[in-house]
Structure 1
């Protein structure tokens, strides 16, 4: 669970042309497989992005207007 102050984002992030009231971040072991299953279930997630803080992530809105973010550690060899 990651919490942020209300001032963390000067403006809430926009995904698929929507602003969100809250974000939920989930750490996963296989982000590629999860994204494929999400798409197969009919959802429309963003593409996977390799972030500069060593996480691979994708985002999607949930039906209640919250932003769901899924992330996997980028393994260093």
Structure 2
């Protein structure tokens, strides 16, 4: 679940930039479910019971893929880059971008497969 006060912008980012599809959307609730291949994420506006000044998340969202090079080519010129594509000693080829909220999205492919 990604909480955001930029509901429409976030849906646009994940659908137009990353290629997710809106499965369900309820504007009254401020909630949407998006999917791409076998990945599903939910976007939600913070509710009145949760203090929300800005997104605070101390981790990253990590997506395993078999097409990391293709994703890199699609995203490198249209997304804010955290680090460029690289092979790492832990046998992963990966890169990372930031979404429109500043959340870190990492994409990796296992080099041993």
TM-score between the two structures when normalised by the length of structure 2: 0.44
CA RMSD of aligned residues (A): 1.8
For each residue in 1:45-71, what CA deviation from the matched residue of structure 2 results, as whole angstroms up to 9, or x when unmatched?
Answer: 331121111101101111112111100
Secondary structure class of the residue paired with 2:73: helix
The residue number in structure 2 matching 1:47 is 84
Larger radius of gyration: 2
The residue number in structure 2 matching 1:57 is 94
Q: Please, which runs of 5 or more residues in structure 1 have no aligned partner?
A: 1-19
Give runs of ≥4 in structure 1 deviating > 4 Å: none
Whose RCO is larger (CA < 8 A, sep 6+)?
A: 1
Q: Matched residues in 2 for 1:38 and 1:31: separation?
A: 10
Q: Please, which runs of 5 or more residues in structure 2 have no aligned partner?
A: 1-56
Moved more, 50-59 or 31-40: 31-40
